[in-house]
Amino acid sequence: RSADVLVAVATAAVMWYGAQLAMDGALSAGDLIVFLTYLKRGFRPLQEFAKYAGRLAKATAAGERIAELLEQTPEVRDVPGAVEAPPVGGAIEFVGVRFAYDAQHPAYDDLSLSIAPGQHVVIAGESGAGKSTLLSLLLRLYQQQSGEVRVDGVDIRRWTIASLRSQISVVLQDTVLFAGNVYDNIALGASDVSAEAIEAAARMANAHEFISMLPQGYDTILGERGVNLSQGQRQRIAIARAAVRNAPILLLDEPTVGLDEQNEQAVHAALRRLAAGRTSLLVSHDLRTAEDADLVVFLEGGRVGEQGTHADLLARGGQYSRLYHAQSARLNPTTTEQSHVVA
Ligand code: ADP
């Protein structure tokens, strides 16, 4: 419990610090992706640390740990001779990838996976199966121990990290807003975007309507000192951000978790529009999202357990289909009960 409080406090501290950096222009768009990812990923060690630290560390110790996490320049760097990535088409391959976070946390032994340009792919599997790690390797937040991650057939290590990341948009489970107006929050990380382009992105993202109802519309200041948006509204801002960036590859990590039914649908509809014409990887444990995917990759314990369309996988009657039916039963208990009565 005290660990949860600590994590909450730490999250707030990190968000504040990140906002300062972004406002000072010290944080670039690429760094921002890393930063936002750390928000989610970086706290695993912190949580574990807290768990083992019997008596809970005082705020100072936590503060040091945060500083450490933030300063930890990712060990992944440009290799000598790395070149700018050309505009990519969006084919993605993992070829014989072996990766472990550390000796205690192996993620993949020998993972291979192939995604065609423009495909909408759902990465499914139970917690800990290695879904999010796929996105981290593609973003080069971590470096695999062996094997290759390729985009358009090229080992992504041949490109500079910044030029790779500039072609990838990310929407995570929760979105951080910065102290700035709505225009700035959407334009974030994209250069030279017109007000018209921002509004078009907001419309696409199902965000225009609520933005128009804010006290100063698009000029309304958001963030801690300004108007607080709901999680569903923040997710729509994130989608508008991604639309403005117009990157060919889109990574979505549980973007609708925690939303109520209505928001979930609005966000989903917007995500579907955003994904059109881009290669998109959606990490989700909710298998309903897999129903209309071009490809479902079902991970089990760090390997591809099954892959194919949702219909293929259901027809196989394997672990995926068992999980899907179990989830449907849990989501519609009344239907199951009724059919029970009828039967
Ligand atoms: P999923 O997204 O399917 O829940 P992850 O990709 O997050 O799975 O995790 C795969 C494995 O790697 C798990 O065993 C997890 O504990 C471990 N892992 C994930 N992130 C980290 C991290 N930052 N440090 C150490 N181990 C990690």
Nearest atom of ligand 1 to the alpha carbon of 102: 25
Mean local confidence (pLDDT), 27-37: 54
275 pLDDT higher than 80: yes
- pLDDT tens-digit readout, 185-222: 898 756 788 999 999 999 999 999 999 999 999 999 98
Distance 179 CA to ligand 1 centre (A): 31
Say what the pLDDT of residue 32 is. Answer: 56
Mean local confidence (pLDDT), 101-115: 93
- Show Cβ contacts of residue 121 under 8 Å, excluding neighbours closer than 6 positions: 115, 279, 280, 281, 282, 293, 294, 295, 296, 297
- Show Cβ contacts of residue 212 under 8 Å, excluding neighbours closer than 6 positions: none
103 pLDDT higher than 90: no
Ligand 1, atom 21, lies closest to the CA of 101
Nearest atom of ligand 1 to the alpha carbon of 136: 6
Mean local confidence (pLDDT), 64-75: 49
Q: Are 57 and 71 in contact (CB under 8 A)?
A: no
Distance 302 CA to ligand 1 centre (A): 10
Distance 131 CA to ligand 1 centre (A): 8
Say what the pLDDT of residue 239 is. Answer: 95
Distance 107 CA to ligand 1 centre (A): 7
pLDDT confidence band for 18 (50 / 70 / 90) = low
Ligand 1, atom 19, lies closest to the CA of 133
For ligand 1, mutation pick of 49, 94, 105 (most atoms within 8 Å of CB): 105
- Show Cβ contacts of residue 265 under 8 Å, excluding neighbours closer than 6 positions: none
For ligand 1, mutation pick of 132, 138, 284, 323 (most atoms within 8 Å of CB): 132
Highest mean pLDDT, choosing among 66-70, 118-122, 228-232:
118-122
Q: What distance in Å separates the CA atoms of residue 319 and residue 111, rounded to the nearest whole number?
A: 19
Q: What distance in Å separates the CA atoms of residue 325 and residue 201, rounded to the nearest whole number?
A: 36
Q: Tell me the residue ranges of DSSP E strands in 254-322.
A: 279-283, 295-300, 303-308
For ligand 1, mutation pick of 44, 108, 323 (most atoms within 8 Å of CB): 44
Mean local confidence (pLDDT), 24-32: 54
| Average model confidence (pLDDT) across the chain | 82
Say what the pLDDT of residue 75 is. Answer: 63
Say what the pLDDT of residue 14 is. Answer: 60
Say what the pLDDT of residue 57 is. Answer: 36
Lining ligand 1 with CB less than 6 A are 41, 44, 101, 105, 107, 125, 127-133
pLDDT confidence band for 341 (50 / 70 / 90) = very low
Distance 36 CA to ligand 1 centre (A): 16
For ligand 1, mutation pick of 133, 172, 304 (most atoms within 8 Å of CB): 133
Q: Are 113 and 94 in contact (CB under 8 A)?
A: yes
pLDDT confidence band for 180 (50 / 70 / 90) = confident
pTM of the model: 0.81
Q: What is residue 27's DSSP assignment?
A: S
Highest mean pLDDT, choosing among 69-73, 147-151, 246-250:
147-151
Distance 24 CA to ligand 1 centre (A): 32
pLDDT confidence band for 5 (50 / 70 / 90) = low
Ligand 1, atom 18, lies closest to the CA of 105
165 pLDDT higher than 60: yes
**Which is nearest to 317 in space by CA: 303, 306, 327?**
306
43 pLDDT higher than 70: no
Distance of CA 182 to the CA centre of its chain: 21
